[in-house]
Structure 1
C-alpha cells in the first residue's frame, strides 16, 4: 500500500462521520402534543388558526402488558383516547393527543421548564394577525418585537396562548432574516 492511501483512507473515513446524520432524513413530518380537551384544541386550530383536519386515530389501550411504557414511555395504564391530525398551511402536520393516565401531569410547562415548547406560525402581516387573534379573544402576550441584530435580524415575533394555556407564537420576516446575508444556506421557510 502506498503512502497516499495510508494518509487519505483515514481522512476519508473521518469525513464520512463529519456529515453523519440519520440515513434518509428529509425533514419534520409532524409535531405531536397532548391537550386536556382534544375537541377544544381541534376547534381552536381549525377555526382560529386556520388548520385543516385530516383524520383521527385511537383509542389505544389499556393493554394487559407494558406496551405503552415500552413503546411510548408512558405509564403502563395510560390510554390514548384519540389523536387528530391536522395540517397548518405549509408546515409539518399537528398530531393532537388526548391521553388519560394515572400519573398524568395536568400543568402546562413554561418555556423555561424542561420539556417546555411552543409552535410558531408564519404570518404575512404581523399587525393584522395580532388584531385578528385579539378579536377572537386570544390572549396575546405583550407586543410584537423585531430583532435588530443576530441571525434573526428582521424577524418580528409575539407569543399568544391557546385556550388551555399552550404557548404559541406568530413570526413574520417579509424581507428575510439577518443570517441570510452571511450564507447561501437557508433554514426551512414556510413561505416557499
Structure 2
C-alpha cells in the first residue's frame, strides 16, 4: 500500500509575488512561515500556513504564462476552503475588493458555497461547513 496520510502542501505560482503574498496573508489570513529568495532562479518562495493543517508554497518565476481558467482547463480545477459563516467571509472578502460569485447551494450536500479568484485569477472556493 502507498500509505498516503494527508495533503502536505499546495504550490501556487504568482505573477507578482508581493501582491499574492499580501492577498493570501492579509486578506485570507495565512501566516508567512518562511520566505527565501532563490537567486539562481530569480524566484521567491514563501511557505504560508493556515492553522497547522495546510501549507501553500507561494512561488514567483520570471514571466510565468497565464493560467487558462475560462473555459476551464484540464488539471486542478480550484482550491476550496471551509468556513463556518460564508456570509461573514464574503463580507470580509468584498471589504478588501475581492469580487465573489453569488452564494449557491450544493444540490448534493445542501451546503452553501461561492467562488472568487486570487490576484492571478486562480479559482478559489469558500464552502460553509
Measured against the shorter chain, the TM-score band is 0.7 to 0.9
Structure 2: runs of 5 or more not aligned: none
Q: Is the 1:32–1:97 Cα contact (8 Å) retained in structure 2?
A: yes
TM-score by length of 2: 0.87
Query: RMSD in angstroms over aligned alpha carbons?
Result: 1.9
* C-alpha distance in 2 between matches for 1:121 and 1:82: 24
**Paired position in structure 1 for 2:25:** 46
Aligned 1:86-105 pairs, distance under 5 A: 86-100=48-62, 104-105=64-65
**Paired position in structure 2 for 1:59:** 38
1:149-171 CA-partner distances (Å, limit 9, x unpaired): 3xxx1321100012232211100
TM-score by length of 1: 0.61
Q: Is the 2:69–2:121 Cα contact (8 Å) retained in structure 1?
A: no
3-state SS of paired residue (2:21): helix
**Paired position in structure 2 for 1:131:** 91
Residues 57, 117 of structure 1: alpha-carbon distance in 2 compared, 3 angstrom cutoff: farther
1:93-114 CA-partner distances (Å, limit 9, x unpaired): 000000126xx42x12217202
CA deviation after TM superposition for structure 1 residue 139, in Å: 1.3
Structure with bigger helix share is 1
Residues 42, 165 of structure 1: alpha-carbon distance in 2 compared, 3 angstrom cutoff: same
- Larger RCO (CA within 8 A; separation ≥ 6): 2
CA deviation after TM superposition for structure 1 residue 45, in Å: 0.8
Q: Work out whether 1:81 is the aligned partner of 2:37.
A: no
**Paired position in structure 1 for 2:104:** 145
CA deviation after TM superposition for structure 1 residue 118, in Å: 1.8
Query: Which structure would you say has the larger Rg?
Result: 1
Structure with bigger strand share is 2
